[in-house]
Structure 1
Amino acid sequence: MTKKSILIAGCFVASALCAQAAPRNPSGMKTILVLGDSLSGGFGLKPSEAYPALLANRLRSAGLNFELTNASQTGGTTEGGLERLPAHLKRKIDIFILELGINDAFRGVPVDQIQNNLKQMIDKVKARNPNVRVVIAGMQLPNYAADDYVSAFGKMFGDLAAKSGGALVPYLLDGVAGDPSLNLPDGIHPNADGQRILAENVWRVLEPIAREVSKGSSRSPNAFGARDLSIEH
Structure 2
Amino acid sequence: MLKNNQLPLYINKRKQTIFLKLCYFSMLMFLLSCKTEAPKQENSSSNIPTKTETKNTPQTTTKRIVFFGDSLTAGYGLDDVEDAFPGIIQSKIDSLDLPYTVVNSGISGETTAVGKNRIDWVLNQEPDIFILELGANDGLRGVNLKDTKSNLQFIIDAVKEKYPATKIVLAGMQIPPNMGQDYATEFKNIFPELAAKNDIALIPFLLENVGGISSLNQSDEIHPTKKGHKILAQNTWEVLKPIL
Residue in 2 aligned with 1:192? 226
Q: Give 1:134 shift.
A: 0.7
Q: What secondary structure is seen at the aligned counterpart in 1 of 2:107?
A: coil
> Which has the larger displacement, 107-116 or 73-82?
107-116
- 1:29 touches 1:67 (CA, 8 Å); kept in 2? yes
Residue 111 (structure 2) pairs with residue 81 (structure 1): no
- 2:66 touches 2:125 (CA, 8 Å); kept in 1? no
Residue 144 (structure 2) pairs with residue 110 (structure 1): yes
Relative contact order (alpha carbons < 8 A, sep ≥ 6): 1 or 2 greater? 1
Name the CA distance, whole Å, in 2 between partners of 1:133 and 1:90: 16
Q: What are the ranges of 5 or more consecutive residues in structure 2 without an aligned counterpart?
A: 1-55
Q: Percent identity?
A: 42
2:84 to 43, 46, 50: 50
**Paired residues for 1:165-204 under 5 Å:** 165-204=199-238
Residue in 2 aligned with 1:40? 73
Q: Give 1:88 shift.
A: 2.0
Name the CA distance, whole Å, in 2 between partners of 1:187 and 1:113: 26
Superposed CA RMSD in Å reads 1.4
**Paired residues for 1:120-135 under 5 Å:** 120-135=154-169
Supply the AA of the counterpart residue of 2:230: R
Per the normalisation by structure 1, the TM-score is 0.78
Larger Rg: 2
The Cα offsets for residues 57-101 of structure 1, whole Å up to 9 and x where unpaired, read as 111112211111110000010011112211122232110000000
- 2:66 touches 2:127 (CA, 8 Å); kept in 1? yes
Residue in 2 aligned with 1:61? 95
The Cα offsets for residues 153-183 of structure 1, whole Å up to 9 and x where unpaired, read as 0011000001111111000000001111100
Q: What are the ranges of 5 or more consecutive residues in structure 1 without an aligned counterpart?
A: 1-22, 211-233
- 2:177 touches 2:183 (CA, 8 Å); kept in 1? no
Q: Give 1:126 shift.
A: 1.0
Name the CA distance, whole Å, in 1 between partners of 2:150 and 2:70: 18
Q: What secondary structure is seen at the aligned counterpart in 2 of 1:171?
A: coil
- 1:134 touches 1:165 (CA, 8 Å); kept in 2? no
Q: Which ranges of 4 or more aligned residues in structure 1 deviate by more than 3 Å? A: none
Per the normalisation by structure 2, the TM-score is 0.74
Q: Give 1:123 shift.
A: 0.7
- 2:175 touches 2:184 (CA, 8 Å); kept in 1? yes
The Cα offsets for residues 187-225 of structure 1, whole Å up to 9 and x where unpaired, read as 110000000000000000001101xxxxxxxxxxxxxxx
Residue in 2 aligned with 1:98? 132
Name the CA distance, whole Å, in 2 between partners of 1:208 and 1:178: 29
